[in-house]
Amino acid sequence: MNEASSISLTLPSVDAEREGTRLDKYIASAVPEISRMRIKGLILDGQVRSGDKVYNNTSWKVKTGQVFEISVPASVEPEPQGEDIPLNVAYEDDYLIIIDKPAGMVVHPAAGNDDGTLVNALIHHCGDSLSGINGVKRPGIVHRIDKDTSGLMVVAKTDMAHAGLAEQFADHSLERAYLAIVRHRPYPADGTVDAAIGRSPRNRQKMAVVGRGGKHAVTHFTTKQRLGDAASLVECRLETGRTHQIRVHMTHIGHPLIGDPVYGRSQKTRDLPPKVREAISHFNRQALHAYVIGFTHPVTDEQIRFESPVPADMAALIEALSEA
């Protein structure tokens, strides 16, 4: 898909806190946009080195000060097929494209979702001009947002752009902000949730705040608007990017997202006014929208920043809750 046969990624130096972590887990935390299976394959193929030494054992324990370099071969033609699916393009140039993804769209093909994904739409829109770093199933995909989360995503068209964006994700220098409609009124209205996230010990299909074995996760939240007594509009800014991070963190502090089918089920609504109860019960996705993305252009060094307006379904929910 690209001219280069491979691209080299240099990871940040291992800090003392990460010493003793398995190599595959360390790389996964440093470069979350590359899948675990892809990382394992790269290690076993001898594509990971530190200095002059090749590390081809996934269970190697990393040491403080080590700097790992990953050689990622360019992918072959993608297996997913292009589909003529409308895209809301916020920005596009020769190196990257920013998409305003609607709720309900899966980012890339997976079991049970072979077509109709953002990747299928991107292949149709961009042709063979998508980065191959993340493998044939995920061309151009630098990061993901959940199927039922709406909002802005940046996609790489070239391997150079992908590598530059990946480094900014790894060192947390990108700006990412979300709007969430949560239950109740957070108190204090602004704050930070600093709590590790891992697989729930009670349900391995869910994520949860865990005491051991979790990944460092930090979410900063600011209450933007009180929506009656039942809910609030909150801005969440990510310092890290863990699976379901905002949903897990806001639930952890007692303010689950309205409509969240996984983390918000335990919230009772029968004591709420009928109009509020009706508005909440008819909102059938997590009320979460990725409304800001900002970064340094990986090729031109230009500062790129875009905002996405609140989607219609969330705007209607805000109005209904405000008027109740």
Question: How many Cβ atoms are within 10 Å of 236's Cβ, its own excluded?
Answer: 23
Cα(216)–Cα(254) distance, rounded to whole angstroms?
Answer: 20
Whether 146 is a known active-site residue: answer: yes
From the centroid of its chain, how far is CA 213?
Answer: 20
Show the tokens assigned to 310: 């609140």
In angstroms, rounded to a whole number, what is the distance separating the alpha carbons of residues 114 and 91?
27
Structure tokens of 180? 């969430």
Active-site option among 24, 146, 260, 313: 146
Tokens (6 digits) for 239: 């310092």
Nearest to 68 by CA among 30, 105, 103, 37: 30
Query: What span, in angstroms and rounded, lies between the C-alpha atoms of 200 and 271?
Result: 29
Distance CA 164, CA 158 (A): 10
CB 153 within 8 A of CB 107: yes
Tokens of 68: 């790992």
Nearest alpha carbon to residue 247 among 181, 201, 157? 181
Q: Going edge to edge, which strands form the sheet with 6-10?
A: 6-10, 69-73, 48-50, 53-54
Residue 277's φ and ψ, nearest 5 degrees, are: -60, -40
Q: Which residues of 158-186 are buried (b: 16+ CB within 10 A; e: fewer)?
A: bbbbbbbbbbbbbeeebebbbbbbbbebb
CA gap 196, 185 in Å, rounded: 23
Active site residues: 146
